[in-house]
Amino acid sequence: MKGERQSTVEPVFGTLTQFMGLRKINTIGIAQANKLMHLSAIAYNLKKYLKFEQKRSKSVAGTRALKVLAKNILDRLFGCRVKHRKMPLHC
């Protein structure tokens, strides 16, 4: 049971806390904290999807279009700009 949890859940929370700045949730109420967790999960999944599509995509134009799409989505969701290739958020 512990090994299964370590391989499925803990890497996600580790990435969210270490690389995406989700150490504290500074919101009032459970509903707002729930929104923040959902937005963080969306950003994490977009990051994974982009990495997967870059490996799968054969054309450079397709990869660039996916990057632009992800940057626009993250900008609209978080009001942040994505500056680096590994996609840390800078607000």
Mark residue 44 as left, alpha or beta (left: phi above 0; alpha: psi -120 to 50; beta: remaining).
alpha
Judge whether residue 15 has pLDDT over 50: yes
The count of structural domains within the chain is 1
| Residue-number span of the structural domain to which 63 is assigned | 2-90
Residues 6+ apart with CB under 8 A from 84: none
pTM of the model: 0.53
38-78 residue pLDDT tens: 888 888 888 887 777 666 666 666 667 777 777 777 777 66
pLDDT at 91 over 50: no
Q: Is the CA virtual torsion 18, 15, 40, 65 positive or negative?
A: positive
